[in-house]
Structure 1
Amino acid sequence: MKVAIGGPLKLGFRPWVEGLENVPAEGPAVLASNHLSFSDSFFLPAVLDRKVTFIAKAEYFTSPGVKGKLTAAFFKGVGQLPVDRSGGRGAGEAAIKSGIEVLERGELFGIYPEGTRSPDGRLYRGKPGGLARVALATGAPVLPVAMIDTEKIQPPGKVLPKLMRPGIRIGEPLDFSRYHGMEHDRFVLRAVTDEVMYEIMKLSGQEYVDEYATAAKRRMADAAKAGKEAEKKAEKAAAAAEKERSGA
């Protein structure tokens, strides 16, 4: 399945890649990437010779329609792991456990430290739970990854992708063995995550925002909702004023 989909992706979009030599030929490693588009989970595995396993949200395996079926087939075919993220802390622990198991098998584990796609193309603060904990628990090196221009290929809400060349930069491995056994120290988790995010920022050239992307999305959604409500009120006020003038 990876060959069947990865080949056409590389042929059709011709992604450029820098730093492939940093990916170990064998043994465990964490690929920590920025997250600009749904298609990130397609392009990164497509350019690697080794399988990379991501923790994918369960909705990707159960979405209806043709796109949903194709997405589920791809994720299943390349060995992605579905995790129900609606269960709060329990879901997070399940994802971390799954990531540790992948690394203990000597495989590549992919993760998006921001926790969700960037709402505006900027790089947001990394969540300290998953990335740092799996890296420290296993001793696996962390490779920072920058996806370039993938948000232009398939912006949120767009079904059909635009044919253009995305880019992928893979940085040199980061060794956090000095923190081994400290995966439950929140200050260490924060320090590890921030170091990785700094390297991703350097690779991607994105503007960094010291805010979680989930919080930014909520704020943007609230602002959009407030704007629509204000617009409706203005329309009602204008209609009422017009009715009053007509009655006069």
Structure 2
Amino acid sequence: MTGTDGATALRGLRVLVTGGGSGIGRAVARAFDGAGARVAVLDLAPDCAGEPWTGLEADVTDDASVRAAVEEAAGLFGGLDVVVNNAGTGAVGTVEDNPDEQWHRVLDVNVLGIVRTTRAALPHLRRSPRAAVVNTCSIAATAGLPQRAAYSASKGAVLSLTLAMAADHVREGIRVNCVNPGTADTPWVARLLDAAEDPAAERAALEARQPMGRLVTAEEVAAAVVYLASPAAASVTGTALAVDGGMAGLRLRPAAR
């Protein structure tokens, strides 16, 4: 954020980030903290050693766990202004490949995790004059990606859920948006690459399908999240902001050889 108010607009904002132990979530926590916000991270194993934010252990698939962590964060900060629903999990395969248990797990974490966390936080958000919810969605919600059936289905649901939540809560003064990252350079993607038969070739293929020719960084996604949660986006709700190197909208001709 820039301008006279940019340096102070986020100062004191009370922010809750799920899945903040690594990757995009950790970058989001760092970005908010750097802007002067007060940050609590919810994670299965919140490794916050040496970090200035608060780590709270929570499992987004367990409603009691989520409610307890949200209440603890709100108690520490005297309320909540922003919820970033970032916790997620993935699955590789077509509709043939993943058993029902894996489908249930992906949907439970990626979709119902948002429901549980937001539901627990709503009483606090309703009391905030700067309330915002930002969901981590994915390019997989709008583009057909191979070998990502369960993950894509879950992120399609996140996109629709974001729009429904925005409609439900706009008159309460709560803005709801999502970010749609392309393939990001995160620990989860690193693990996928490590498991590939040829990690270097797989990485090159992932980079090549994004028109900018590289993976998205966690910090770039975090910057979009911070914008959507900030007062600078006061008129933005029900929006999906793509941070995907042009993957969703650009159709380039093959590079000349």
User: Structure 2-normalised TM-score?
Assistant: 0.40
Q: Report which of the two has the higher share of helix.
A: 1
Structure label with greater radius of gyration: 1
User: Structure 1-normalised TM-score?
Assistant: 0.42
